[in-house]
Amino acid sequence: MEVHFTGRHYDIAPELREYVTRKLEKLANLDRIDEARVILTAESYRQIAEIKLTARGREFVGTGESADMYASVDQVAERLSEQIKRSKERRIERGRRDGGRAGAGAGGQITLRETHPAPIALTVDEALAQLDDEGGEVLVFENSANRKTTVLYRRDDGTYGLIEPAG
């Protein structure tokens, strides 16, 4: 892990560099961190610590501010820890949701599950009732009045739309 330090109106003591590096090593236990940029700023009574991490192509940014630089570093380390944990949980959850194929769309391949059930012969009123019972968003059925395949869908505002072929 590369660590770059910048001091704005602040001389960074070797002890503080060591302290920040130990904090970053603890964060590296949560996820693989490629690079860290540490910016320490002193403004009158405020001591501001800002850390930007690059991990697995994602950027995490945290800022801490207090009267003591060590306390500011502690704040930013805690915030970054929470960000990394949330990101890791999302990545794991996405893997579970995709059936273990996390990032399948990143390779340019999309897997579709196709089903071709025969449309059921229903009236529009029966189709509305079935869509409400199932709680679905879309229902494809054969309109028993004209024997044409028809699509009934629920709009975002709660109303319904009906698509019938022309002619």
**Using alpha carbons only, what angle is made at residue 31 by residues 48 and 105, rounded to the nearest 5 degrees?**
115
Look at the pTM and tell me if it is higher than 0.75: no
* Helix, strand counts (H, E) of the chain: 3, 8
Domain boundaries, the chain: 2-100, 120-163
Q: Express each pLDDT in 4-48 by its tens digit.
A: 999 999 899 999 999 999 999 998 888 888 899 999 999 989 999
If one compares 120 and 124, the residue with the highest pLDDT of the two is 124
Is domain 120-163 given the CATH code 3.30.505.50 in the classification? Answer: yes
Residue 102 pLDDT class (50, 70, 90 cuts): very low
The SS3 of residue 138 is: strand
Residues 6+ apart with CB under 8 A from 41: 7, 8, 9, 10, 47, 48, 49, 50
Q: Per-residue pLDDT for 84 more than 80?
A: yes
Within this chain, domains 2-100 and 120-163 share the same CATH topology: no
Residue 83 pLDDT class (50, 70, 90 cuts): very high
Q: Which two tokens stand for residue 107?
A: 């390779």
Q: Express each pLDDT in 51-61 by its tens digit.
A: 999 988 889 99
Reported in sequence order, the residue ranges of 107-167 that DSSP labels E, i.e. its strands, are: 120-122, 138-143, 148-154, 160-163
Topology of 2-100 in CATH? Double Stranded RNA Binding Domain (3.30.160)
